Structure 1
Amino acid sequence: MNIIHFITFFVTNIFVIADEFDSNKFLLDYGYLKGDNVSLTDEKGVKDAVRLFQESFRLPVNGELNSKTIAFMREPRCGIPDILPYAVSRIIWRKQELKWHYQRATAEKMKLASIAFDEWAKHTSLSFKHDYYGYDILISDKYGIHTCAKNDNVRCSSRFDGPGGVLVHAFSPNTANTPIEIHIDEEDNWNFDPEGKEEKGKTNLLSTFMHEIGHTLGVRHSFNKDSLMYPLLNKRSNLSEDDILAIQSLYGSKAMTTTAKPDQTTKSTTVPGTSEVITDVCAIKEDDKNKIHYLLVNGKVYVIFQKQLWIINIANSSKYDSKNYYRPLEITDRLKFLSLDTFKGIDAIYQRPNGEIVLIENHNLFMFNLNTQQLVIGYPKNACSHFNIGHPCTINGIVNTYTGKTYVIYNEDFVGEIDECSFTVARTDLVSNLFPGIPADIDGVARFNNGLLYFFKSRNYYEYNEFFQKVIRFGTKDHELFGLLCYSNSILKEFTEFISKFHVYPKKEV
């Protein structure tokens, strides 16, 4: 079920006297009172709700509806409740680039929208791009009772009431990541200053844009009055530290992308009756069907691609010792319990805390001893049935983290926490909740000895710090992340290989 928060900015008439202000309705609308008749008639319950409001906005807490408290209630503000009546999962965008468009906007409005998106982009791994047709966020001017901009046959669930009423409303991200909208009341008196300067009698559109964009990204309200996401409308034209921490908790910090490396020289042999087999691990090229998987055990990197396995010692290797980069094994020769005829490539692999290796291939779950390559009694099993995560299922990745927990990521955006004692899924959640900033439908995940997790999707990596719970780097997937020496400079590589000819290595079985 998609959970959508509807967001509005509400401006009350400042000349209405206190007796005409429906404080109970306000407390009910914004979550301070429960939605039942008992709460509305219970004097103590109302006083407690007023105290909660006063505490939230740092007013003297006495439970009395004095003039100062009512004045705060009637301030221009966002219409989403301050206190949600139930817990909801935090839903975010599962993509790094978001596209937006302001429908039939003037040049000055387009400029303000661009400035507002750019401000959020400064502090997060997200990027924003204007696109007339392929948008994720659509902005439009509306008035009165209106329809959605994308579909004129769908009536908007809120209405505008002319100058001084509801200023703007928007939707939060949904689980399907389908386009959402921001509606602007064109009858309100807007200030279009691009630097956010105040203009008497007008509402600054730039700060309003920035607040609403925060909600379209999944950011909730902050009770820090200096925050752009403060419930009451403010005049900020940039993000506060509080806002920056909030957006980075969802999507990580500014992306530190790496430069894609030029093509490597491929050393390959041809197997009769089959396509060309790559023997140089540095020459592997992924596609949508064939993915690279990594396993790091005891200073060695196990690189698995299609039916090939490279075992590379990175613990004690010098940068000239690259002989194993060109010596792949047939994975079914190393792991004889796998069938060469039916093997199509693995879905996930990791090492359990007890040292056993878990490998999932075509929904088959294998558990084995790495030294003896012997299966644990009772395996293989069907992974979907064993973990009770639906049948059929799609296993996206599995990893044991540095915090000692094991997670299986499945069916695009779900995570199951595995109890290693019973080796069953103890609880489930969304990827966006357990790993903020990681997109759904990943291709794989691995843990490295630098204390970080690496999630992979579409030949990109997301470097994740599980202790700070955020993405700290994003870029093109590269063997060098795991200590492999695949030089981007071809001249340097050729020189390295030339030097290696002068070194004599003792023969050693892999």
Structure 2
Amino acid sequence: KYLTRFYDLKPTGGKVGRKNIKNPFTEKLEQMQKFFGLNVTGKLDRKTVEMMEKPRCGVHDIGQYSTVPKSSAWQKTDLTYKIVNFTPDMPQADVENSLARALKVWSDVTPLTFTRVYDGECDIEIKFVVGEYNLFLVAAHEFGHSLGLHHSEDPGALMYPNYPNTDPYRFKLPQDDINAIQSLYGKTSDAVQPTGPTTPSKCDQNLVFDAVTTLRGELFFFINRFIWRKHPRGGEADLLFIQNLWPALPNDIDAAYENPITGEVLVFKGNLYWTLNGFDISQGARSITRLGFPKNVKKIDAAVHVEHLGKTYFFVQNKYWR
């Protein structure tokens, strides 16, 4: 069903007759794996199934907005929208606020304007159906489609097919989406153009991690709002949002280390730290003074536990604690 819905897989009505012709299912599965940056095996392996099970947009993935023709965009920049009905799951005022903020995501980086109308004709009509969702992020994504954008292959983009588990109040439109929407509607009139976060690439020779730690045999590489998760058995490292695993953790952390005795991981940002027990946050933000640091220490630059010495070293500028 996934490939039928999102990759236009047609029923064959039987087996493919010729040996040299690739099975349509395999062909579409490989197309899906390539789109999401998975190993292109043509088989329903574990990572492919996991990707299929993630919450996502209902629009198909065929077509990328880097090749969207200009004609698919609105031929004007002043657009109207109308809310036809409301969801019973949220107060009406919260719905209105979330939708306005979702539209502002796009108007902040383009000449677009959005005006709400209450009756008559409109450009964008908003209707609610049954389902659980983070309204702001889903609405911002779907408005992107309404404005002419297709899905992006960038896993950090708002227009990536799978919905991110991101705090809407910390959201900033990624650069990939800014580039795409500006290719259709142009830039703002501001002297300084808005910029957004980018997705790290393993091929970047200048890549610098914020922190690296082990966790129950796995390796975790923190960078900005992302984690690369590497399993000891090998294979490609998975790129995830930090908030996919720990929703309450901040982005851009300073340091992290695992205590092999307790199995806990301590994560540091500024003068605060969080305690992780597996994929649960067992202790929320606490001051690092609780660990014995003097009040003049405002952040931990790096931390490492040296197992054969049984000691943990904390680095702050040109000093260290243990």
**TM-score of the superposed pair, with normalisation by structure 2:** 0.48
Higher Rg of the two aligned structures: 1
Per the normalisation by structure 1, the TM-score is 0.31
**Which structure features the higher share of strand residues?**
1
